[in-house]
Amino acid sequence: MEIREAEKKLKIQFKNSDLLASALTHRSYLNENRSFRLSHNERLEFLGDAVLELVSTEYLYENYPHPEGELTNFRSALVNYKILADIARRLGLEEFLQMSRGEAKDTGRARQVILANAIEAVIGAIYLDQGYEAAKEFILREIIIELPSIINKGAYLDPKSKLQEIVQEKRGVTPVYDVLSESGPDHDKVFVVGVFLGSKKVGQGSGPSKQEAEVSAAENALAENEF
């Protein structure tokens, strides 16, 4: 891993570059590289998640005079793993991630989660290396900057809530979700869910849980229909 190149991407020079190296190391890498001298990034992710939540909460409190429920939705949308994964890609961190050969081949949801976790771990590393203000500056520069777009697009409404709001207003009905199929072993289930308005299926999605499959179905319905 070229730590100096990673630092350039992040616009931060670490006093202890081992912290950044750990932040960019997935636990699967250690399974194939037993002699690797550093730890994986899960503890740093745990710390960074807390710092990110505090900074984003503080920023929302100081800049948005909205009710608590709306502020919670704004924050949830901002720290969503998909948004964080996109930010990690924008920063070019994917090329520096150390993971197993198997994980390196995965380009779906699992990769998004790994990227999101890496961003949180990087925040934890910055906090330990340079303190709260440096971590806050990074979060404001690279993450909080996404907030206006999230709010303007209504992306803080989860797809199920957004779909329900639209169809109740325009059709006077409530979407109903049904599991169409279920496959795979208990540890690796795949659910396929359809969303219906009356007897008409308006969307379909899949996921590792019924809840995620329902969200995927709602996203599909919003993308494919003009209600």
pLDDT at res. 1: 62
Q: 113 and 22 in one domain? A: yes
What is the Cα 141 distance to its own chain's centre?
17
Q: Are residues 83 and 145 in the same domain?
A: yes
Same-domain check for residues 68 and 144: yes
Examine the domain organization and report whether 15 and 76 are in the same domain: yes
Residues 137 and 28 in one domain: yes
Same domain, residue pair 51 and 100: yes
> Tell me, what CATH number does 193's domain have?
3.30.160.20
* Final residue belonging to a domain, choices 152, 172, 200: 152
For the chain, 227 residues long, give each residue's pLDDT as a single digit of tens. Answer: 688 899 999 999 999 999 999 999 999 988 888 878 899 999 999 999 999 999 999 999 999 999 998 899 899 889 989 899 999 999 999 989 998 877 777 767 788 999 999 999 999 999 999 999 999 999 999 999 999 998 887 778 788 888 998 899 888 899 999 999 999 888 788 999 999 999 999 999 999 999 999 999 999 999 998 87
Residue among 178, 174, 222 at smallest CA distance from 202? 222
The whole domain housing 54 covers 3-152
Q: Which of 120, 129, 142, 219 is catalytic?
A: 120
Domain count, the chain: 2
Decide if 120 is catalytic.
Answer: yes
Maximum Cα interatomic distance, the chain, rounded to a whole number of Å = 62
Q: pTM to 2 decimals?
A: 0.74
Same domain, 108 and 177: no
Whether residue 179 contacts residue 191, with contact meaning beta carbons closer than 8 Å, is answered with yes
**Which one from 49, 129, 142, 214 is the annotated catalytic residue?**
49
